[in-house]
Amino acid sequence: MTAVVVVGSGIAGLAAALHARAAGCAVTLVTKDALGHTNTRFAQGGIAGVLFADDSVESHVRDTLVAGAGLADPAAVRVLAAEGAARIRELVQLGVAFDRDADGVFVKGREAAHSYPRIVHAGGDATGRAIEDALVRAARAAGVQVLEHTFLVDLVVTTRGVTGVDLLRHSEVPPRADAKNGHPPLAPLHLPADAVVLATGGAGQLYAHTTNPPVATGDGIAAALRAGVAVSDLEFVQFHPTVLAGGEPFLVSEAVRGEGAVLIDDAGRRFAFDAHPDGELAPRDVVARAIARQVAAQGGRPVRLDATRLRPTAEATAAFLAHRFPTIDAAVRARGWDWAREPVPVTPAAHYLMGGIDTDLHGRTSVPGLYAVGEVARTGVHGANRLASNSLLEGAVFGARAGDTIAADAGLPWPASAPAPAAAASASARATPPVAARVSPASAPPLARAALQRLMWDAAGVERDAQGLAHAASVIAAWRADAAVPRSVADHEDANLLLVAAHVIAAARARPASVGAHHRRDAAPTSAARPVLEGVA
């Protein structure tokens, strides 16, 4: 029986685990926190799919390619759109109760850059939670072995490829902290495997402002980089346009704008049309930049999201918002705002990493035995900018594809369709900024996660330029040169964030033209061609 280790418990990892189990594999699923604590759980808007007779795969493909700014892979996009409906119906069979109208038909949702309202949702704005809960129940029922509170340290790679994972696990699960002793000690654990699936999500904790939970520290990408696995497109970080300003970041779903909410400046003017004819429903990168520039023009004061006119009266609007967006409604009102009667302040925040580990259309990476699915992967479906509500769909479609493929791949040579091996690091790959811009370990600011997050927000945020990127590269290199050997999970996370940050910065420096979510202040958008990136050590 093929032994499979899946690292990560969001929609992509759970889909891969379920399909591999159904194919006869022995599956162990590893997650660094509790089983359901993933980015998937926090997804609000819904999942896109061609489920209605007046929609088409061609339309979904076209919308995805346009949003991707010319860099999405048409073959991958077609797989996503063509297989999406089947995966959504599978979720229904597993118990996901997508919202339906009085006739039992799925309620349609509209989101930015979609030409058709093809998004379906559950619990109004609780789609991710409904999906996560259903998949967790299914995984347990299917006999998937689960290791919670278990941290991925590294992939084990031999001449044959990936043969297992090295982990750290709390001796007491779940770990209970106390004021005197802190968490119980960590124990190393080695799991051999015939195949490993990385489904560890993105790296939102690189940034000072993010919609991602604390677990999103780039662990899978960092482990892949250390193992020499090919990665690409790390410069493409999506910033969600509308996150509540002030306090802990809380995402206000794009579906709110899809229902008719608008963005206004201090004077009450709808400024988004200055950036794009679709206004608030333009692609996310366009709207995020428009907001960031308006905030700067207003001296740092946030713009406002106005949902007060979604229904004829304030009372009717309040009832609609509470029914359609119960989670958001509760969060907004908990902060003291009556958003049926007053606009609420919003600002962009880091949301989704479009790049990652290179894969083929079945999740295979450049190293035999290793698969990657979900946000950790660069499948090619997002290009330079992810189309709204394609993320859950990508996890479901490509997680299932990887799970179905693992058993068939067992014992066979790694197919030619897999990505090419990563290029060996060269002297130029480790190039440093000019002497005047270099920062030594002694002169770098003290390393703390908050300092790295602020540096990345300032240098590689919604907009970038050569000077800021060079400075960030130098500071990160100094921090890495002075880093101690990781001992705790937090230490390992910090090391992973530093490594991924170095590669995000290198990728951004290697692309001088603006395209999609990668916007250079110092360059006009001249070409969507992918650059040749030699990497960093």
Burial class (CB in 10 A: 0-12, 13-18, 19+), 400: buried
Evaluate whether the domain defined by 428-510 bears CATH number 1.10.1060.
Answer: no
The answer to whether 284 is a known catalytic residue is yes
pTM for the full predicted model: 0.93
DSSP letter assigned to residue 227: T
* Short-list 21, 72, 14, 4, CA closest to 39: 14
Which ranges in the chain are annotated with CATH 3.90.700.10?
254-347
Q: How would CATH label the architecture of 254-347?
A: Alpha-Beta Complex (3.90)
Alpha carbon dihedral 354, 360, 363, 364, in 10-degree steps, equals: -120
| The pair of three-digit structure tokens given for residue 312, joined into one six-digit string | 């004829």
What is residue 14's three-state secondary structure?
A: helix
* Per-position pLDDT tens, the chain of length 537: 999 999 999 999 999 999 999 999 999 999 999 998 888 998 988 999 999 999 999 999 999 999 999 999 999 999 999 999 999 999 999 999 999 999 999 999 989 899 999 999 999 999 999 999 999 999 999 999 999 999 999 999 999 999 999 999 976 667 766 545 566 678 999 999 999 999 999 999 999 999 999 999 999 999 999 999 999 999 999 999 999 998 889 999 989 999 999 999 999 999 999 999 999 999 899 999 999 999 999 999 999 999 999 999 999 999 999 999 999 999 999 999 999 999 999 999 999 999 999 999 999 999 999 999 999 999 999 999 999 999 999 999 999 999 999 999 998 999 999 999 987 643 333 444 444 456 766 667 777 899 999 999 999 999 999 999 999 999 999 999 988 899 899 999 999 999 999 999 999 999 999 999 999 999 865 544 544 444 466
Q: Which of 210, 521, 525 is nearest to 384 (CA)?
A: 525
The span from the first CA to the last CA of the chain, in angstroms, equals 37
Selecting among 41, 284, 364, 511, the annotated active-site residue is 284
Query: What is the location of CATH 1.20.58 in the chain?
Result: 428-510
Q: Which CATH architecture has domain 1-176+183-236+354-422?
A: 3-Layer(bba) Sandwich (3.50)
The rounded distance, in Å, linking the Cα atoms of 167 and 500 is 19
pLDDT value of residue 430: 42
Note the pLDDT of residue 534.
Answer: 47
Please give the Cα distance from 531 to 520 (Å, whole number): 15
Contact present, 387 and 19 (Cβ < 8 Å): no
C-beta pairs of 489-496 under 8 Å, 24+ apart in sequence: 489/32, 489/151, 489/168, 489/186, 492/151, 492/153, 492/168, 492/219, 493/205, 493/217, 493/219, 493/449, 494/447, 494/449, 494/452, 495/222, 496/203, 496/217, 496/218, 496/219, 496/221, 496/222, 496/223
Q: Between vectors from CA 186 to CA 141 and to CA 179, what angle results, nearest 5°? A: 105
User: Cα torsion at 221, 289, 392, 370 (round to 10°)?
Assistant: -20
Q: Where in the chain is the domain with CATH 3.50.50.60?
A: 1-176+183-236+354-422
